[in-house]
Structures are given as C-alpha cells and as structure tokens.
C-alpha cells in the first residue's frame, strides 16, 4: 500500500476532503474532487469512521483501484471538528482501495490502531516521520510473527 | 471378537496413521497390551509372503503400503480352520442363499473348512434354524442342500447373514469389498462405477452408512443373478409406486439407468422389481445440500419428526431450532423409507454413541419406537436410534456453545477489523466467526455463521431475526453495555424456548 502524507491547515471536514480530492484527482486516484468527496461522505453517512483519540479513517472505496493508497492528513489548523469521543480530529487516515480486493496492510493498520497508546503516538507523530510510523504499524504483526 | 477382525482393526489403524505409530498407542486404541500388538504384527507378517508391517526401534511400527498387495500365504490343509464355527456357518449359509434355489453338494460347500461329517450335520441344523427365522426352508438330502423360499425373504436373509459376518461394521466400500465373498475386481469396479453414477446425479458423496448399504445391495444382486435364480414376478406398479416414481422422477430415472447397466453387465434382463428395489435404496439415502431438493418432503415425515421431538422434549429440556429440525427431517425421511422397505443400516458408532450419550440414546430410542407404534411402522433398530441421537446430541452441544458475533462494516476490512480487536479484548468469551463487508451480509452466509448478534458500524436491516447492534468504531462504554444487554437478552430468550 502506497503511503502519502498531505498536511493541511484547512478548517472543516468537507473543505479538507475537497482539498485532498483535488490532489488525488491530479494523482489519477480519483476522477475528480466531487466524486471523491461524495464517495467518502456516503460511507460516513452509513457510520462514522472516527475511531477516537483525534483519529478518523475515512474510506474512498473505488472498484478496480490499484494499487491501494493511504493518505495521511495531519490537521494543522487551529480548529478542527470533533470526533465521536468529542476530541478534535487531528489526523485523517484516508484509505483509497478496491473493496473487492483483500487489503491486509489496511486491516493490520486498523488492528494496530485499536491500541489507544499506538493511536495516541501516531497522532503526536511529526509529519516527517508519519509515513514510516504508519508503515511500521502495517507490518508490526509480521515483525511480531503474528497474523 | 475374532482374531482375524482384531488384526484387521490393527491394519486399519496403521493405514490411517499413514506412518510410524507406537505399539503403546495402538495398544490403547485396541484395548490390548503392547505385547499383544507385537504378537498380532508377527502373525500378520507370517501370513503374508512379504512383511506388511515394519518395526523400528524408537519410531514404532508402520504399515508398508508397497507390500499391501503381497499375496496371503495359502492356508495349510491341516484341518485347522481360521474361522470360528459361527463364521463358518454364516459363510456356508451365504453361499447357499446366493445359489438358491439350486442344490449344492455338501462336500463342495464345506470343503474350505476341513470339518468332520458330524460338524457338517450340526452346522446344517443351525443353518436350517437361521433360515426359518427368515421364513425360508433348508432342503437337504444325503449329498446336497438347497434353500427354498420367496426371493424377498432370501434377500432379507442375505442381509442378516452379511450383518452376522460383520460386513456392515465397516465404514468404507473397500473394507466391505475385502470381506465380500465371491466378488472379483471387475464386480467391484462395476459397482463403484454405478455408485459414482449416483453421486454424479445427486452432485455429492453418498455418506456412510448409505454407501455401504447401496454397495451391499448391488453386490447381492450380482451374486444372486450370477449364481442363483428367481422367478420374475409379473409385478405391476401399484398406484403408490407410480406416484412415488412421479414425485421422485430424477431418482426413478436413475434407478432405471442403473438396472440397464446391470442387465448389460450380467447379460440378463432383470425384472421390474429390481428397478423398484434400487429406487427404494436411492430413496433411503440421506441426500444433503442441493441434492435434498431431489426428494420432496412428505407430510408424514414432518408429523413423525414432530411426534419424536415432542416425546423427547417431555423427557429432557431440549428443543430443536428450525435448522436442526430440518436436518432431522432430512434424516427421518429416508429412515422411514428404510423401515417400510426392510432396509437395515449398521451403525459402527453405536457403541460409542451409547457410551457418550447413554441417557439421551435411551430417550431417543424410546421416542422413536413410540412414534413407530403410533404411525404403524416396524420397530426402529438401535442402529437407527444411534444416528438420530447424534442430531439431538449436536443440539445439546449447541445449547452450551459460546455466543457468536459477526462483525461488519462496509468493506469488512476497515473499522470492523478494529472492532474485532476491541470485541476480543472486552468480550473474550465471544466467538467471532466472521468479519464481513455489507455485500457478504446474506441469508446464506448468516446460516453458515449462525451468529447471535451482528455488530455493525453501518446501519443494516436484520436477517432471519438476528439482531443487529449499530456501534461506533470507538466501541465505547455505551456500545459495550448495549452488546452486553443484547447478549443477555438472547440467553434469556433461548432459555424460555
């Protein structure tokens, strides 16, 4: 899974998605910003992807999308919208993938984030080390010899 | 149990092990001492031109599959027979039944056993009594003997004889073939071909014990057609026959094809009754999965099943759920057909079932026989009761099973994975049979996973009344309390049922 870090100072969830969508459209990951935002919001309407501790994992599910991408969006704006636990969202982990294909790295990342310590550490991570920290979480189980 | 059967058991265990196994392990499984195991191994190796079993220090013993085809040493004609009197009498009886109504020279009949004239006389008396039990007669003069009686009674007597020879106490066709007298490799290949034809039609394997039953019926048919004779009755299909054939057209057509194959193989023209016999055997097989659609469920099956389950429920606190009830009905349907057509099945697990589920077995056997009486059917054998017991035993175990939760999100790969970790942490006793996407949320999958609750991070409608608890990916205090409450409610509801 390819990891990108896209820091932003944009305020609000929708404006942030628009900005990321525009960038992903340029990267040919999404056809355009509007389609990207609608897809992500449709999933959010079914149930929030806020996982607490200032983290949110929005999904951009697009059949046929390959390779899968993970866009880490540290929110550096002074204000941010609250997550389900009331804490302001500080890091978006936008996963772009084909829902019909297994995504073991993504699954491993989510299992790793079930640990509040790991999640808190990730949110505090400086932008420069974020990609490596995410890669470490995705391969942590392999390195521990577990599935 | 005779020595020959015990050594056969030993060979079966070794074949299953596929490699080295210690004599102690074998001794435990066979219920004898290690010394006895070594003695049997010696005996088996002595009986073959090449050793069948090799012993290695520190490793144990192993079956040499490359020597499995080694010929058995010819028996010494020293008057010592490897058969017990009971086995001998039944083997002779089987030969006579296959040849009925033709006479057989007494000398020829008993030649393989090296027994005296007085033993022959006494064996023939026993055989006469065994035949009488099946409404048949032994006709004898000074030099020859024959069996006389109706063909249906001869077939019944053959089944009883095969049973006494323990031929039904096997779980595989190859084991049955090994003990079936007079059958050559061509017969075996032919019957296996016909069984494969049935399996292709029903699109699945014929499970034990139906495979053995069908095989033994075909074996009997070949032996009777080749060695004996029976008058083809001018049988006309009754209205019930016609209706049953119409209701089960696929199986009836299959029976016709099979008998056509037999006609060509035996170069004969088998009567219509044989077609109907094969048809009844096919109806007596419990078909699983899609093949069960080939047999429409008769109303009396449901009535019989309800009678049995109600009788059981009066004795023990156990009620079958809808899925188990359907499974049981699928077993009862061919069982009733077996009862009506005098088709017996042997249950090799019976001793184990009685040991593990003794009380339950007694309740089931009593309930089945009460139902049989109520519906004017033959008494139901312990072997059949044993099979039915397994259905109830499974439900009893299900009652004690841990609760199951299926976890779902849109992709089955995102928040549901996170949720799985949290569920494992906060509810370690729960079983999570699957983490799924909304597209995998189907009735068929739910029937497979059988969850008590579906835990979802997205809103979906319940399937088959399994409650869906919508939770956030946080799986916070409120979500956990809701799940706890829902699971407790489910337990209470199960108890009330």
The four Cα atoms B16, B18, B22, B28 give a dihedral, to 10 degrees, of -10
Interchain pair B459, A51: CB under 8 A: no
Q: Report d(CA B301, CA A51) in Å as an integer.
A: 53
The domain defined by B3-67 carries CATH number 1.10.10.10: yes
Interchain pair B410, A110: CB under 8 A: no
Q: Which two tokens stand for residue B115?
A: 């027994």
Which pLDDT tens digit goes with each residue over B50-94? 778 888 777 788 887 666 655 555 444 444 456 778 888 999 999
Instruction: Write down the pLDDT at residue B449.
Output: 86
Which pLDDT tens digit goes with each residue over B17-34? 778 888 888 887 887 777
What number of residues does chain B have? 497
The domain defined by B299-399 carries CATH number 3.50.50.60: no
Instruction: Write down the pLDDT at residue B179.
Output: 75
Interchain pair A102, B413: CB under 8 A: yes
Q: Report d(CA A60, CA A55) in Å as an integer.
A: 16
- Angle between helical axes of B382-399 and B358-374 (0-180°, round to 10): 120
Number of domains in chain A: 1
pLDDT band at B6 (very low <50, low <70, confident <90, very high): confident
B473 touches chain A (CB under 8 A): yes
pLDDT above 90 coverage of chain B, percent:
32
B424 touches chain A (CB under 8 A): no
Half-sphere exposure of B68 (CA within 13 A, CB side): 12
The domain defined by B85-164 carries CATH number 1.10.155: no
Distance from CA of B43 to the nearest CA of A (A): 50
In this chain, the answer to whether the domains covering B3-67 and B85-164 adopt an identical fold is yes
Contact between residue A102 and residue A130 where contact means Cβ atoms under 8 Å apart: no
Instruction: Write down the pLDDT at residue B15.
Output: 80
Which pLDDT tens digit goes with each residue over B304-351? 999 999 999 888 877 777 778 888 888 898 888 888 877 888 887 888
- Which chain B residues have a beta carbon less than 8 Å from that of A85? 474, 476
Interchain pair A50, B459: CB under 8 A: no
- Which chain A residues have a beta carbon less than 8 Å from that of B418? 51, 110-111, 113-114
CATH number for position A12: 3.40.930.10
Low-confidence stretches of chain A (pLDDT < 50) are: 145-147
Give ipTM to 2 decimals.
0.87
To which CATH superfamily is domain B405-496 assigned? Response regulator (3.40.50.2300)
Nearest to A61 among B411, B420, B472 (CB): B411
Domain boundaries in chain B?
Answer: 3-67, 85-164, 173-284, 299-399, 405-496
Which pLDDT tens digit goes with each residue over B403-439? 889 999 988 888 899 999 999 999 988 989 999 999 8
Q: Which two tokens stand for residue B366?
A: 């009593």
B488 touches chain A (CB under 8 A): no
- For residue A129, give its domain range: 2-143
Helix (H, G, I), strand (E, B) or coil at B53: strand
Interchain pair B473, A84: CB under 8 A: yes
Distance from CA of A7 to the nearest CA of B (A): 22
pLDDT at position B205 over 90: no
């Amino acid at each position: 899974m390819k990891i990108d870090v896209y820091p932003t100072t944009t305020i609000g969830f929708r404006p942030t998605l628009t900005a990321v969508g525009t960038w992903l459209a340029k990267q040919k990951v999404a056809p355009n910003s509007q389609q990207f935002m609608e897809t992500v919001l449709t999933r959010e309407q079914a149930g929030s992807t806020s996982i607490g501790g200032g983290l949110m994992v929005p999904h951009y599910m697009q059949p046929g999308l390959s390779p899968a991408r993970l866009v880490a969006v540290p929110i550096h704006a002074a204000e941010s919208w609250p997550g389900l636990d009331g804490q302001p969202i500080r890091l978006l982990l936008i996963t772009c993938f084909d829902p019909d294909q297994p995504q073991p790295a993504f699954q491993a990342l989510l299992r790793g984030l079930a640990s509040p310590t790991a999640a808190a550490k990730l949110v505090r991570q400086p932008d420069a080390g974020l990609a490596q920290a995410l890669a470490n979480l995705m391969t942590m189980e392999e390195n521990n010899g577990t599935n | 149990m005779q020595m020959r059967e015990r050594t056969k058991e030993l060979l079966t265990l070794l074949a299953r092990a596929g490699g080295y196994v210690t004599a102690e392990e074998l001794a435990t499984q066979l219920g004898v001492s290690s010394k006895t195991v070594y003695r049997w191994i010696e005996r088996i190796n002595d009986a073959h031109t090449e050793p069948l079993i090799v012993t290695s220090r520190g490793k144990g013993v192993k079956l040499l599959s490359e020597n499995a085809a080694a010929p058995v040493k010819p028996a010494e004609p020293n008057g010592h027979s490897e058969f017990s009197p009971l086995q001998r009498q039944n083997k002779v009886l089987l030969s006579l039944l296959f040849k009925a109504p033709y006479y057989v020279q007494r000398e020829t009949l008993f030649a393989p056993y090296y027994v005296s004239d007085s033993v022959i006389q006494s064996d023939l008396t026993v055989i006469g009594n065994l035949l009488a039990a099946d409404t048949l007669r032994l006709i004898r003069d000074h030099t020859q003997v024959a069996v006389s009686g109706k063909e249906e009674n001869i077939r019944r007597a053959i089944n009883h004889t095969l049973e006494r020879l323990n031929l039904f106490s096997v779980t595989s066709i190859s084991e049955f073939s090994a003990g079936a007298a007079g059958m050559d490799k061509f017969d075996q290949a032919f019957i296996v071909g016909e069984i494969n034809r049935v399996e292709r039609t029903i699109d699945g394997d014929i499970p034990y014990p139906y495979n053995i039953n069908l095989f033994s019926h075909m074996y009997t048919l070949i032996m009777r057609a080749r060695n004996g004779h029976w008058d083809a009755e001018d049988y006309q299909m009754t209205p019930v026959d016609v209706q049953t054939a119409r209701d089960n057209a696929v199986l009836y057509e299959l029976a016709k094809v099979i008998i056509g194959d037999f006609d060509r193989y035996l170069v004969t023209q088998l009567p219509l009754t044989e077609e109907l016999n094969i048809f009844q055997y096919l109806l007596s097989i419990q078909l699983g999965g899609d093949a069960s659609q080939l047999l429409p469920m008769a109303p009396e099956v449901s009535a019989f099943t309800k009678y049995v389950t109600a009788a059981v429920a009066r004795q023990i606190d156990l009620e079958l759920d809808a899925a188990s009830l359907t499974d049981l009905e699928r077993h009862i349907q061919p069982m009733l057909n077996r009862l009506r057509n005098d088709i017996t099945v042997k249950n090799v697990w019976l001793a184990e079932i009685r040991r593990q589920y003794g009380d339950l077995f007694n309740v089931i056997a009593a309930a089945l026989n009460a139902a049989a009486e109520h519906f004017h059917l033959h008494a139901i054998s312990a072997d059949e009761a044993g099979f039915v017991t397994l259905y109830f035993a499974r439900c009893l175990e299900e009652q004690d099973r841990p609760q199951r939760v299926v976890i779902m999100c849109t992709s089955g790969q995102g928040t549901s994975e996170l949720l799985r970790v949290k569920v494992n942490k906060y509810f370690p006793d729960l079983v999570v049979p699957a983490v799924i996407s909304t597209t995998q949320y189907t009735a068929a999958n739910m029937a497979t996973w059988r969850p008590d609750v579906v835990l979802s991070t997205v809103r979906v409608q319940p399937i088959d009344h399994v409650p869906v608890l919508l939770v956030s990916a946080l799986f916070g205090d409120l979500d956990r309390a809701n799940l706890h409450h829902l699971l407790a409610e489910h337990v209470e509801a199960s108890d009330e049922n």
